Amino acid sequence: MTRRVQLIKLCKDYVLKGETVSALRDITLDVPQGDYLAIMGPSGSGKSTMLNLLGCLDRPTSGQLILGQQNVADLDDDQLSDLRANHIGFVFQSFNLIAQLTLLENIEVPLLYQARGKRLDHLRSRELAERVGLGDRTNHRPSELSGGQQQRVAIARSLVNDPDFVLADEPTGNLDSQTTEEILAIFDQLNKEGRTIVLVTHEDEVAAHAKRIVRLRDGLIQTISHNSA
């Protein structure tokens, strides 16, 4: 199990037009199991870069990213893929559903990378469809669902491998206020059950659901605050 996540003097640089740009600088942060963390900051502050590093979609330039007992820098590409497939769930603002697949098939996509029985896959995905309130829409395709329903599918898909933690990038950015609250209620319940949630948002109302808020500016942690219970 991945459980605890540690960022130790983490830095990420990019080379753009021959110049080095520091997206993250000396980030040190401890994310214990069961945390609910909101990452905030202006455009270009490093929010998405931090989420990409946490999700093992990118590697740090220097410093350490430790997931459980494993330093990400020590893992090869196959090991990173295995880590993502088995321990990390992703939820994106744009849903990233496959248009040709049904709701149920979209939920099952992460299971294609694992050797599991089809019957078990179907049972798991149906269970998650029920959990997010879409048990009666399993044969619908994304174009037949509202934005909120598509995001519910994306959340169910992120949970199908029973990940240690869920990363969400502006998960309510394209949703109206009522649907936003419904989606956040799902995250709140997942966290109550012990799931670690890390989400990027620019909305104070969304960040208010988290236990802690990390504010970034110019690639640095500006503040870390705790929300009252």
Which pLDDT value is given to residue 3? Answer: 75
174: domain range? 32-60+76-226
Is 48 among the domain residues?
yes
Residue 175 confidence class, pLDDT cut points 50, 70, 90: confident
Q: Is 94 helix (H, G, I), strand (E, B) or coil?
A: coil
Is 1 among the domain residues?
no
Is 43 among the domain residues?
yes
* CA–CA gap between residue 29 and residue 36 (Å, rounded): 13
Q: What percent of the chain has pLDDT over 70?
A: 95
Residue 214 near residue 30, CB atoms below 8 Å: no
Q: Is 156 helix (H, G, I), strand (E, B) or coil?
A: helix
Lowest mean pLDDT among 60-64, 123-127, 166-170: 123-127
Name the token pair of 226. Answer: 């705790």
Residue 86 confidence class, pLDDT cut points 50, 70, 90: confident
CATH number of the domain where residue 96 is located: 3.40.50.300
Which pLDDT value is given to residue 2? Answer: 54
* Count of other CB atoms within 10 angstroms of residue 74: 9
Is 68 among the domain residues?
no
Is 10 among the domain residues?
no
Which pLDDT value is given to residue 123? Answer: 84
* Count of other CB atoms within 10 angstroms of residue 157: 25
Q: How many domains does the chain have?
A: 1
Instruction: Name the average pLDDT for the chain.
Output: 89
For the four alpha carbons of 100, 122, 109 and 181, in that order, the dihedral sign comes to positive
Residue 2: which of 166, 214, 139 has the closest Cα? 166
Is 69 among the domain residues?
no
Beta-bridge partner residues of 91 = 168
Name the token pair of 19. Answer: 């110049």
Backbone phi, psi, residue 193, to 5°:
-85, 0
Residue 11 near residue 62, CB atoms below 8 Å: yes
Question: CA triplet 130, 162, 131: central angle to 5 degrees?
Answer: 10
Name the token pair of 117. Answer: 């029985």
* CA–CA gap between residue 157 and residue 127 (Å, rounded): 11
The DSSP secondary-structure symbol of 162 reads -
Is 148 among the domain residues?
yes
The whole-number average pLDDT for the span 177-185 is 92
* CA–CA gap between residue 43 and residue 46 (Å, rounded): 8
Task: Give the pTM.
Answer: 0.89
Judged against a pLDDT cut of 80, whether residue 117 lies above it is answered with no
Is 3 among the domain residues?
no
